[in-house]
C-alpha cells in the first residue's frame, strides 16, 4: 500500500511540477494574531494573578496547489494543546486544566499586487480536562468545589479575510455540529484585524498589533475581546520569536471553565515555527 501511495504522489508531482508542492515550509494563511484558537508554542504570564498559559502545538500545510491566476489552495492539519498552570514555590507549576484540539484545515488565497484575499476552513475537535493540579490532596477534594465535567465539541470554522499591504481584516463563523453539554449554543461569530509594521531599529525587528472580537453563544450571547501587541524577531509571515502584551476579557478559553468570565493582562513569549 505504501509503495502504491508513493507512486501516486511521484506521478502527480511530475505531472504538475510547478503546480503542486508537498509539505511546503510555510502556511498558506498565517495564524490570526489575536485569535485565541491559533497554534502557538510558548507561554503567557498573567500580570495580576499567579497563573500562566502554556501552549504546545502546530499547524502544518501538507499540500499547496497554485494556479496561473496567483491562487494558492492548501490542505493541512492542526494539533495543539493550551494548558492552565499555577506558579508555586520551588519552581513548581501544577497543571490545573488542559484543552486538546486536533483537526484538518483547508485554505485558499489569491494574491494581486499589494492585495490578498481568501479564506480558511477548519474542522476540529476540542476536549477539556481537569488535571492533578486542580485536586487539593490535603483536603481530599477538587479545588474551589469544582468537579471535573465532560466537555467536548466538534465544529467547523470559516474565516474569510482581505489583506491590503500589511493590514489584514477578517471575520468568521463557527458552527458546533456536536457539543457536550448539549444545552450550549452552536453558533459563534468573529471579527478582527492584525497588522505587521515595517522593521524598526534593525533588520527582522517587526512591531505588530491585532484585535479579535468574538460573540460566543453559551446559554446566551456574550462578547470576548482579545488584544495582542508586541515585537517579532524574524519574518512577519514566517519563523521567529514574538514578545507581546495580551489583554483578554470574556468567557474563559479553558473549556472546563467555559461558563466563567475571565479578564487579565499578560506578557507572552511565542516561537513561530
In this predicted model, what pLDDT tens digit does every residue of 59-72 receive, in sequence order? 999 999 998 788 99
Output the pLDDT for position 18: 54
Structural domain total, the chain = 1
In a domain? residue 14: no
Output the pLDDT for position 221: 95
Confidence check: pLDDT of 198 > 70 = yes
Output the pLDDT for position 17: 47
Choose between 238 and 100: higher pLDDT. Answer: 100
In a domain? residue 118: yes
In a domain? residue 231: yes
Output the 3-class SS for the chain.
Answer: CHHHHHHHHHHHHHHCCCCEEECCCCCCCCCCCCCCCCCCEEEEEECCCCEEEEEEEEEEEEEEEECCCCEEEEEEEEEEEEEEEECECCCECCEEEEEEEEEEEEEEEEEECCEEEEEEEEEEEEEEEECHHHEECCCCEEHHHCCCCCEEEEEEEEEEEEEECCEEEEEEEEEEEEEECCCCCCEEEEEEEEEECCCCCCCCEEEEEEEEEEEEECCCEEEEEEEEEEEEEECCCCCEEEEEEEEEEEECCCHHHCCCEEEEEEEEEEEEC
Confidence check: pLDDT of 12 > 80 = no
Q: Is the peptide bond before 86 cis (omega within 30 degrees of 0)?
A: no
Mean pLDDT of all residues in the chain?
Answer: 90
pLDDT band at 201 (very low <50, low <70, confident <90, very high): confident
- Residues 116-127 have a mean pLDDT of 97
Cα 234 from Cα 31, distance rounded (Å): 15
In a domain? residue 182: yes
In a domain? residue 103: yes
Output the pLDDT for position 14: 52
CATH for 195: 2.40.230.10
In a domain? residue 82: yes
In which domain, by residue range, is 94 found?
24-272
In a domain? residue 4: no
pLDDT band at 15 (very low <50, low <70, confident <90, very high): very low
In a domain? residue 257: yes
Amino acid at each position: 500500500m505504501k509503495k502504491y501511495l508513493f507512486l501516486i504522489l511521484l506521478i502527480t508531482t511530475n505531472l504538475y511540477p510547478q503546480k503542486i508542492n508537498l509539505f511546503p515550509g510555510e502556511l498558506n494563511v498565517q495564524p490570526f494574531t489575536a485569535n485565541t484558537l491559533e497554534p502557538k508554542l510558548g507561554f503567557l504570564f498573567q500580570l495580576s494573578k499567579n497563573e500562566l498559559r502554556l501552549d504546545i502545538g502546530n499547524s502544518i500545510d501538507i499540500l499547496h496547489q497554485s494556479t496561473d491566476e496567483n491562487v494558492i489552495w492548501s490542505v493541512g492539519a492542526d494539533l495543539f494543546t493550551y494548558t492552565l498552570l499555577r506558579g508555586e514555590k520551588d519552581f513548581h507549576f501544577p497543571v490545573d486544566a488542559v484543552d486538546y484540539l486536533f483537526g484538518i484545515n483547508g485554505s485558499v488565497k489569491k494574491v494581486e499586487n499589494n492585495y490578498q484575499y481568501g479564506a480558511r476552513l477548519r474542522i476540529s475537535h476540542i476536549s477539556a480536562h481537569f488535571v492533578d493540579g486542580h485536586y487539593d490532596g490535603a483536603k481530599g477534594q477538587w479545588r474551589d468545589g469544582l468537579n471535573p465535567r465532560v466537555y467536548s465539541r466538534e465544529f467547523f470554522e470559516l474565516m474569510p479575510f482581505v489583506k491590503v499591504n500589511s493590514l489584514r481584516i477578517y471575520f468568521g463563523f463557527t458552527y458546533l455540529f456536536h457539543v457536550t453539554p448539549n444545552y450550549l449554543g452552536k453558533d459563534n461569530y468573529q471579527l478582527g484585524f492584525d497588522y505587521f509594521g515595517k522593521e524598526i531599529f534593525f533588520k527582522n525587528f517587526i512591531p505588530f498589533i491585532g484585535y479579535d472580537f468574538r460573540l460566543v453563544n453559551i446559554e446566551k450571547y456574550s462578547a470576548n475581546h482579545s488584544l495582542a501587541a508586541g515585537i517579532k524577531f524574524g519574518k512577519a509571515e514566517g519563523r521567529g520569536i514574538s514578545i507581546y502584551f495580551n489583554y483578554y476579557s470574556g468567557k474563559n478559553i479553558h473549556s472546563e471553565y467555559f461558563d466563567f468570565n475571565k479578564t487579565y493582562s499578560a506578557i507572552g513569549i511565542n516561537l513561530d515555527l
